[in-house]
Amino acid sequence: MFDLQKIIRKNIKSLVAYSSARDEFSGEANVFLDANENSLGSPLPKWYNRYPDPHQRALKQQISRVKGIASEHIFLGNGSDECIDLLYRCFCEPGKDNVIICPPTYGMYEVSANINDVAVRKAPLLPDFQLNLAHIETLIDAHTKIIWICSPNNPTGNSLNRNDIEMVLNNFDGIVAIDEAYINFAQQKSFIQELADYPNLVVLQTFSKAWGLAALRLGMAFASIEILETLNKVKPPYNINQATQDLAMQALEEVGQVNDMIKEIVHMRNALAGVLMQIPTVSKVYDSDANFLLVKIKDARQVYEFLLTKGIVLRDRSNVQLCEDCIRITIGTEQENTVLVDALAEWLDIQIAK
């Protein structure tokens, strides 16, 4: 039975959060002399001399309308990486607790664990890139606090079986963190509507992918009020700057444009997959629910290095478990995709000529 109080670190449970000037005042006022800001303004046209809302209330309300979930269940981080780090800092005792990851998967789960001195246990995906439930079960002990699940997964691109994820949620007494960074490109339904059913569920999403706002560094965590109260105790008071809040608010007014971009990327993804499969040295293009393709190709490292000479940067994944001889290709513009295909044809011609 999941009991949040049993997994919160003792020092975090007793922590008195920093109280900022904006936390201690609510309401309307005309004169702000409480936060040691520069009262004369700034060189910028907007009043960026004032500290931002530490709880991003207006932005969360806007996200709430788009996502169909109450703002009380939304946490915003400086990128999803901050959300990942905070989950470790709140719920994992350094040098004592452990987490489970399912490689190949997003690398920051392990990096952040190492930074926080939390042991990492690995349950590699099955050959079809699905969860190995039996292996996960053998790794769980009393000190296992988080199981990380990335779906659609990076770098494989596939969605994980929903029934398998629900099995983990129903049978694990710690936190199950589902990273849905690429969910907008997938047919599967997000887990954010399942929060009421799973008190141990944390869902991560981002503005970096479908929304095209990678430079803003804005990640989202959706969870129970109790879990988010703990994250809010630990986060820096002004972790989301005002410029990011303002620009994200503008972007959220353009849901139609974002949906059009998603459709176009999915169309180009499918078209590019078809073209790549015609290349003789490509043995497999894996099914993808993301904005990238994982491609198994002969001499993947050499292909990667050749493309660099053409000014084309891909991601070499050939040294990643279960991704041997694979490169990861982000879906570019139509012109960029054409340049890539032409360069791969040139590579093939060179190999034939040898």
Q: What does the alpha-carbon distance between residue 270 and residue 288 come to, in Å, rounded to a whole number?
A: 9
Structure tokens at 227: 């879990």
The one-letter amino acid code at 163 reads: N
Q: What Å distances lie between residue 14 and 90, 118, 145, CA to CA?
A: 11, 21, 19
Task: Tell me the per-residue pLDDT of 23-53, one tens digit each, with 9 for 90 and over.
Answer: 777 778 888 888 999 999 999 877 899 999 9
* Predicted local confidence at residue 129, as pLDDT: 98
Q: Say if strands 282-285 and 219-222 run parallel, antiparallel, or are unpaired.
A: unpaired
- Provide the strand spans (E) within the chain: 74-77, 98-101, 119-122, 144-150, 175-179, 201-206, 219-222, 282-285, 292-297, 315-316, 326-330
**Coil, strand or helix at 12:** helix
pLDDT of 77: 98
**Hey, what are 299's tokens?**
């001499």
Is there a contact between 289 and 152 (Cβ–Cβ < 8 Å)? Answer: yes
- In the chain the domains, ranked by start, together with CATH numbers, are 4-20+53-253 (3.40.640.10), 256-353 (3.90.1150.10)
**pLDDT string in tens for the chain (354-residue length):** 899 999 999 999 999 998 888 777 777 888 888 899 999 999 987 789 999 999 999 999 999 999 999 999 999 999 999 999 999 999 999 999 999 999 999 999 999 999 999 999 999 999 999 999 999 999 999 999 999 999 999 999 999 999 999 999 999 999 999 999 999 999 999 999 999 999 999 999 999 999 999 999 999 999 999 999 999 999 999 999 999 999 999 999 999 999 999 999 999 999 999 999 999 999 999 999 999 999 999 999 999 999 999 999 999 999 999 999 999 999 999 999 999 999 999 999 888 887
Segment 234-260, tens digit of pLDDT: 999 999 999 999 999 999 999 999 999
Residue 181 sits at φ, ψ, to 5 deg, of -55, -30
Determine the pLDDT at residue 33: 85
CA distance linking residue 216 with residue 112, whole number of Å? 21
User: CA-CA distance, 106 to 153, in Å (whole number)?
Assistant: 8
CA dist 177 and 150 (Å) reads 8
Question: Could you check whether the bond before residue 152 is cis, i.e. omega within 30 degrees of 0?
Answer: yes
